[in-house]
Amino acid sequence: MICQQIHHHFGDSATIWLFGSRLDDRKRGGDVDLYVEAAPHTLLDEIRCKINIEESLNMPVDLIVRQPVDRSLIARIAKTQGCRL
């Protein structure tokens, strides 16, 4: 469902990583952390996607959407410590 919503809002070429506490079954993180690389899009696309995922999972979602050229710290953390979906 996560991948389906991401691709619906950002296109089939979007890449997705799950990172943070939800990767460890022993931890009970309070939200789902998602990092997405996608082509340029609108803020409204991000908001709609976040809301749809939160409603489906019935839990908060931290959705970070960046262009593939992003070299920020959060991009490096998500891509090296996260799990690509």
Question: What mean pLDDT do residues 2-22 have?
Answer: 95
In a 10 Å sphere around its CB, with 0-12 CB exposed, 13-18 middle and 19+ buried, how is residue 20 labelled? buried
Model confidence at 36, in pLDDT bands (50, 70, 90)? very high
pTM summary value = 0.90
Per-residue pLDDT reduced to its tens digit, 46-82:
999 999 999 999 999 999 999 998 999 999 999 999 9
The domain in which residue 19 lies consists of 2-84
CATH number at residue 80: 3.30.460.10
Number of domains the chain contains: 1
Q: Shortest CA distance to 41 belongs to which of 18, 72, 7, 16?
A: 7
Residue 50: φ, ψ to 5°: -60, -45
Distance CA 39, CA 61 (A): 21
